[in-house]
Chains A and B, each alone.
Chain A
């Protein structure tokens, strides 16, 4: 039987009983040895404790044992017949945000400890915020010390309610609440008899059954080259660990930054060649063609490209005693690539306790801020929300070589100037609006709605020339989704331009405003749990990117309905192309107004060749592979 691996992190304040909880798990799963137990019993006795201090099993270094606090990330291991667990045990007090971020970076689950007597504290909120920032897919809120509140259900319910309200502002897909007493052993490994009102599982059972691998991106193949192997003239292999996605021999790939293309010849390992390499595998790839690739390059699939930019918009957590200096140069390590970086702008810092943004001109140890970086060479990246490996980086001080910051990429930097050509007045207002608005959560969370619907919410954005068949495919798709019991919402020019957007024409400015309103409507539909199908010519990249920008990463799916314009001119069922060519219709996309092809759409459908029915089926398959709907 295969034993699975789950990496999780624990966060709690000094007295929440986090170390006791870990000690309890180790003790009750018989993961401790007699000599360890004896040594801890001896220390407890020497110190005059009344009971065996389970926390001593995990408090490692002498300094912290003396101060009775943990001061650094410590790793613990235990296993059950089902799973091996790696615990990144991180301290929770204010000065150690850095450690929590470190522990969270590789975790698939976070346990947030709350003392039942104290309720949701500032620290609890901070832990929730960091879990959300680092995109940990699963969170467990452990309401501990229930023995000290007489196992009172109302106390527990109150804490759950308070945390739930707070968590609705976070981006955490799943939260599980468990009342427990680590000291007494209630609901840790064994179900407690003292809280019959709780019908959930004890913690260990949850850890053994929660879905692992949720943080992995199995769609976008990204292969940062680590090391080139040339044992002899006839062999040239690229060693690396697949950061995401999967690849098989015969597939067409492209290497960046060179842009040279080839096909995968073999996936080589000492155990023999493989049919496929998947996210997380350390392998060697050989290619059909001899192309120049070295460490730091990235191999991807030709039809699924990363973004490329040397101006990066990122959230960073400062980890060094020396505060961040906006004027300094740093080395930036992104996958296997090392480049120089300067920070061109420090937008604001985020108070981790209130999640409010504050003006600042520096970042101290443990502070989190949003920055704009410029790198000497472009990075090939994905946003962090989409891909934990190709969306993360560290900053390294040039003088000490210390790792001074952890960074999560939000996207390419965009300056006001980039937008000015579109709508001079709007640009400024839009930026301000998006940066200042703090989301007021609705009464129901998206998570609750999705759970009722049985599928995830998403925005499917169909773009393409007039008559390319966008709406035809989208309507067939909507019917199919409806038959699968999915909640959908259909938006196109016909149903929006008549009412909401009736005041707009077809100039570039009006088109931009049209798309802005459509995007906002789509975003509301999304927030209410729908699969929104938006079908608009939307000819400009910047407008579509606006729509993309207001929907969470991974939930905006751009579908390019691609069709040769000559075919469209010939088909022309409504006679629009003829009228545009004769000059009767002005600003007609593809004839007298430009159409910018999407740079990196999630999907391209060839509406010139495939039947709408078949194309809709392809989209269904894509939605299944992304986990938005179930088969």
Chain B
């Protein structure tokens, strides 16, 4: 019977497609959250596969902090046109202008925390009932217990003690008015799985992921790209280094790693032998050990 044993990536793909289809079937208004990072690009690819030969039957939503890398935005627009998907963009800047949030000031300011409000507002604006995201359980300890179908109360909050048990491949998306779900089809994937899958499927990724020359600032061991929102403080210096990014988020808190890995094969080799987690390079997780758990409770992914 060994001929019927599928590779682990094929099994993970089948599981993710099953979950994505359950979302389309169980909810009237789902949305796919798209950041332009490799996980959300993988998600969009899986959604295409789930509904082929139809188009993805729901829109994609990008929350733009205004501090995104230019490469990410260019890639995003090109990719949407290529796959013929409907993209909605909402801006943290608008939330600031409307007085919904107050921007942090000073050289260490980050808009990372603010995007939660913009996201929740956007979900409410379109009355989205389920938001598909590319979060993975291996990213951080607080995510290890996350469900595929994660229930959020009418305030968009996550209660770790009140999550529905998930058995076999049965996903219960029934809900009361006002309640929503976050759904994570690639929960069981690891960083390495995502890279190997993008290689096998020939998925195109933003150039930021591959080795390039960049002017960076070393801040508490995190290499941030120098830009109009990230500039040297005190005795910090701008240095030119050969780097790549392992995750793509906000310019203010997404750290680069020094790496010569210029193509996907080199990256896979590097990731397979990596000694530091991908979120280890994110300044936002360093604030406290339970940082992620706190942000999740507030409605962050």
Contacts and interface: CB of A to CB of B under 8 A. Distances in A.
Are chains A and B native binding partners rather than an unrelated pairing?
A: yes
Given A75-B144, A239-B51, A295-B25, A319 B5 contact: no
Interface stretch (B104-112, B168-176, B212-220): B168-176
B102 interface: no
Most B Cβ at <10 Å: residue of A98, A101, A213, A241: A241
Interface stretch (A157-165, A349-357, A393-401, A463-471): A393-401
A295 B24 CA distance: 11
Per DSSP, are chain A's interface residues mostly helix, strand or loop, or mixed? mixed
Contacts of B17: 241, 282
Contact of A394 (B8, B137, B142, B167): B167
Interface stretch (A138-146, A226-234, A413-421, A454-462): A226-234
Interface string A566-595: 000000000000000000000000000000
B96 interface: no
A34 B276 contact: yes
Interface in A232-251: 235, 237, 239-241, 246
Most B Cβ at <10 Å: residue of A61, A76, A216, A246: A61
A231 B55 contact: yes
Interface residues of B, number: 59
A383 interface: no
B276 A35 contact: yes
A77 B48 contact: no
Nearest to B2: A213
A401 B176 contact: yes
A72 B18 contact: no
Interface in A200-227: 212-213, 216, 218, 226-227
A61 B145 contact: yes
A239 B50 contact: yes
B4 A39 contact: no
Nearest to A84: B8
Nearest to A36: B277
A102 B163 CA distance: 12
Most B Cβ at <10 Å: residue of A62, A79, A279: A62
B276 A77 contact: no
Nearest to A335: B170
A304 B13 CA distance: 28
A18 interface: no
A475 to B, nearest CB: 30
B11 interface: yes
Interface in B1-24: 1-2, 4-9, 11-15, 17-18, 21-22, 24
B52 interface: yes
Contacts of B163: 72
Interface stretch (B115-123, B184-192, B227-235): B184-192
Contact of B167 (A235, A239, A392, A401): A392
A347 interface: no
Contacts of A34: 275-276, 280
Contact of B18 (A226, A230, A270, A278): A226
Contacts of B175: 401
B266 to A, nearest CB: 19
Most B Cβ at <10 Å: residue of A2, A98, A101, A295: A2
B100 interface: no
Contacts of B167: 101-102, 105-106, 392, 394, 403, 406
Contacts of A401: 172, 174-176
A394 B172 contact: yes
Contacts of A74: 144-145
Contact of B137 (A43, A77, A295, A333): A77
A388 interface: yes
A280 B276 CA distance: 34
B290 interface: yes
A392 B168 contact: yes
A14 interface: no
A2 B5 contact: yes
B49 interface: yes
Contacts of A226: 18, 21-22, 25
Given A270-B52, A389-B168, A61 B188 contact: no
Contact of A79 (B21, B145, B190): B190
B188 A75 contact: yes
A89 B29 CA distance: 33
A34 B274 CA distance: 9
Nearest to A402: B164
B99 interface: no
A400 B151 CA distance: 12
B103 interface: no
| 3 pairs of A and B residues whose beta carbons are closest in the complex | A5-B8, A35-B280, A270-B52
Given A2-B5, A216-B4, A239-B21, 4 more contacts: A58-B144, A102-B165, A241-B18, A270-B52
Interface of A: 2-5, 33-36, 39, 43, 58-63, 72-77, 79, 83-84, 86, 98-99, 101-102, 105-106, 212-213, 216, 218, 226-227, 229-231, 235, 237, 239-241, 246, 268-271, 278-282, 284, 295, 319, 331, 333, 335-336, 388-389, 392-394, 396, 400-403, 406, 627
7 contacts: A5-B8, A36-B277, A105-B168, A268-B52, A389-B168, A394-B167, A406-B167
